[in-house]
Amino acid sequence: MKEQPIPERLQISPFLVFYLVMSMQIGIGVLGYQRIIAMDAGYDAWISILFTGACVHVIVWMIYKIGETVGGDIVTAHKYVVGNFIGKAICFIFIGYFIIYCLTIVRTFIEVIQVWMFPEISTFWFSFGFMILCIYIVFGGFRTVVGTAFFGLVLPAYLLLTFGWAIKFSNFYNLLPILDHSIKELLTASYHMSLSLAGFEIIIFFYPFIKEPKKSQKWAHLAVLTTTLIYTILAIITFAYFSEDQLSRQIWASLTMWKIVEMPFVERFEYIGIANWNLIILPNVCISIWVASRLIKRVFNIRQKVGVFFVAAAVLSVISFVDTRIKINMLNKYVGKMGFAFTFIYIPLLFAAVMIAKKLKKGKNK
């Protein structure tokens, strides 16, 4: 079966990859990654962020190389390496991964809402509303999903400035002495950081939707760079604001920092922040639903609309059962591990396999 190329009117401009990648990388993780990375590497953890950022660049480069070689998305890449049937079987796992990923984001966000804003909000009904919104977005096609990513990044961008209030009460000597942790501790922190920086791997799923994908590569790298810098700067501000002991007890350090924000007409800024976070979470969920439903379409050859409904229904049917902090934490841990395995282990392996397959095919042709 020859694959149909995506018609141009459905494709996106190369620079929009910037927003897609960045909005996927920035999600619920920003609210509380500081404590997790500081657990091992202490206040040297910002070095780990930079290190992870550098690794991400390498993976992005690999993804583009794969896409360029096979001229398509991950399904095409699998077909290229192991043939149609096994390729689709492997993709089946990713459908599961993205459904669970979607579930985790929505559930964690609802937890934040329940802890900080509405203790009584119904998990099911809020996620029900959220899923309807997402279905509406995904039905608008990939361009609408990218639009959500664009607005989900641009509109809440002002929130970054609000962390400036914390600087007034910061003590940057907290960061000293630099490099008093072992390499192993730094690497563990890097591993934890990789969970927050993950999300860029979606490029391999929408690669055929980019107009002139080669031009988009620099935007993808720029996006990763920007995200890394945002995470680093925010981490440094957090480290300067909290003492190490204090930070170890803050699950959502970023939210706590908003408590200091004070304006003549607004107190308790975290309410506005969390409400706005809805906009940031939305592209995360929509993109993962889009990817999952797209994979369903590619693997089972059914309409993508059916896939979207299936994904939403799957998330809704499970979400009520994840009801305690422990379960949510467990879910996050497993998704993190899966994400790490997929991004930092599977993609390099796939890259190697594609390169070998390319060499072999070249040899055959001769």
Partner 1 sequence: MKNKRIKEDVQHKEWEKSLIKSKDFKKIFYYNQKTNVRFGLTFMATLIDENIIQDGILPNLLEEEFREIEDIKQLVPVADVQICDDPSLIEQKLLNGYVMLTVETELKHFGFIAAQKEIVRGLSQPEVEFSVIGPKEAFVESMGQNLNLIRKRLPVKELIVEEFTLGSLSKTSIAMLYMENITNEDNINTVRQRLTNVKFDAITDSSYIVQLISDNSNSPFPQLLDTERPDRVAGILAEGKIAIVVDGSPHVLITPTTLVEFFSSFEDYFLNWLLSSFFRLVRLFAVAFSILVTPIYVATLSYHYELIPKDLLSTLITSRREIPLPPILEALFLELTIELLREAGARLPTKVGQTIGIVGGIVIGTASVEAGLTSNVLLIIVALAALASFTTPVYRMGNTIRLLRFPFLFFAELWGLLGIVFCFCLLLTHLMRLTSLGRPFLEPIYPPRVTDMKDAIIRLPFEKQSKRPIFLRTKNPIRFSKKKAEEKKDIDE
Note the residues at the interface with partner 1 (CB under 8 A).
12-13, 16, 113, 117-118, 121, 126, 129-130, 133, 136-137, 140, 143-144, 147-148, 150-151, 264-268, 271-272, 274-276, 278-279, 282
In 3D, which of 278, 284, 273, 212 has the Cα closest to residue 19? 284
Pick 119 or 177: Cβ nearer partner 1 = 119
Quote the least distance from Cβ 320 to partner 1, whole Å: 18
| Residue 341 CA neighbour count, 13 Å, CB half | 9
In 3D, which of 114, 45, 51 has the Cα closest to residue 255? 114
Cβ partners under 8 Å of residue 5, min gap 6:
208
In 3D, which of 163, 110, 149 has the Cα closest to residue 269? 163
Pick 40 or 270: Cβ nearer partner 1 = 270
Amino acid at 218: K
Give 44's DSSP letter. Answer: G
Quote the least distance from Cβ 141 to partner 1, whole Å: 8
**DSSP-based three-state secondary structure for 210:** strand
Give 311's DSSP letter. Answer: H
Pick 120 or 245: Cβ nearer partner 1 = 120
**How far is 57 from 59, CA to CA, in rounded Å?**
5
Quote the least distance from Cβ 274 to partner 1, whole Å: 7
Pick 85 or 125: Cβ nearer partner 1 = 125
Pick 127 or 217: Cβ nearer partner 1 = 127
Please provide the DSSP assignment of 150-162 as one string. Answer: HHHHHGGGGHHHH
Pick 29 or 273: Cβ nearer partner 1 = 273
Quote the least distance from Cβ 100 to partner 1, whole Å: 23
31, 277 Cβ separation under 8 angstroms: yes
